[in-house]
């Protein structure tokens, strides 16, 4: 599955969780469980997205603005998430803050899907989105796995430079193949 489809799948899950939490309310057991689920998946989503997608947007003059906007919106979402995780809020205040958080996140998702993805498709090489989709899923899985039960295999968490170097290597081989043909 290509990167944008993998990201959209996560987004759909976030939308459902936000709706269900608002219906359940933060004080109910179900609301608390759903909020925990949302927190861990969203934190991992943002981390992997920054690592594999925003890093690429940053490298291109045309798409740099999306990376800056994305980082800013992630920063705001993480700040509100941290406040929601604190135990100092009463139920009513928590629910109102969650509504604000949810509006920020849903707006961000809409922008990513309608603007960022469409405008950045061309910066990727052929097959690269497919490859990044697999790396994203693998990386997300690793980040969701408790450190104690992780394997020692390091290849799954690829530093952004390695991904870029890999992309450069492929670019060369595509060129070489064209030359040979």
Q: Which residues bind Fe ion (CB under 5 A)?
A: 49, 112
Q: Residue 156, CB half-sphere, CA atoms under 13 Å: how many?
A: 16
Residue 46 or 163 with smaller CB distance to Fe ion: 46
Write down the least CB distance from residue 170 to Fe ion, Å. Answer: 25
Write down the least CB distance from residue 142 to Fe ion, Å. Answer: 18
Q: Which two tokens stand for residue 132?
A: 């990044």
Residue 2 or 112 with smaller CB distance to Fe ion: 112
Write down the least CB distance from residue 168 to Fe ion, Å. Answer: 25
Q: What are the residues whose beta carbons fall under 8 Å from the beta carbon of 166, sequence distance 6 or more?
A: 158
Residue 57 or 84 with smaller CB distance to Fe ion: 57
Find, among 18, 169, 4, 156, the residue nearest to 80 by Cα: 18
Write down the least CB distance from residue 55 to Fe ion, Å. Answer: 13
Residue 59 or 113 with smaller CB distance to Fe ion: 113
> How far, CA to CA in Å, does 16 sit from each of 20, 34, 106?
6, 10, 11
Strand, coil or helix: 143: helix
**What CA–CA distance (Å, rounded) separates 21 from 87?**
17
CB atoms within 10 A of CB 161: 9
Q: What are the residues whose beta carbons fall under 8 Å from the beta carbon of 134, sequence distance 6 or more?
A: 1
Residue 43 or 59 with smaller CB distance to Fe ion: 43
Residue 31 or 73 with smaller CB distance to Fe ion: 73
Write down the least CB distance from residue 47 to Fe ion, Å. Answer: 10
Q: Residue 111, CB half-sphere, CA atoms under 13 Å: how many?
A: 16
Write down the least CB distance from residue 50 to Fe ion, Å. Answer: 8
């Amino acid at each position: 599955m290509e990167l944008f489809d993998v990201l959209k799948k996560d987004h759909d899950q976030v939308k459902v969780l936000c709706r269900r939490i608002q219906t359940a309310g933060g004080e109910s057991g179900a609301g608390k469980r759903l909020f925990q689920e949302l927190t861990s998946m969203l934190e991992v989503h943002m981390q992997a997205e920054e690592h594999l997608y925003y890093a690429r947007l940053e490298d291109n003059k045309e798409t740099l603005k999306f990376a800056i906007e994305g980082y800013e919106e992630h920063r705001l979402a993480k700040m509100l998430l941290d406040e929601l995780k604190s135990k100092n809020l009463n139920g009513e205040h928590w629910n109102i803050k969650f509504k604000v958080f949810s509006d920020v996140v849903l707006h961000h998702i809409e922008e990513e899907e309608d603007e960022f993805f469409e405008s950045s498709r061309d910066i990727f090489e052929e097959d690269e989105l497919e490859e990044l989709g697999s790396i994203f899923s693998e990386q997300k899985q690793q980040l969701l796995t408790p450190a104690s039960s992780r394997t020692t295999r390091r290849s799954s968490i690829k530093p952004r430079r390695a991904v870029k170097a890999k992309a450069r290597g492929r670019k060369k081989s595509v060129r070489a193949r064209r030359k040979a043909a």
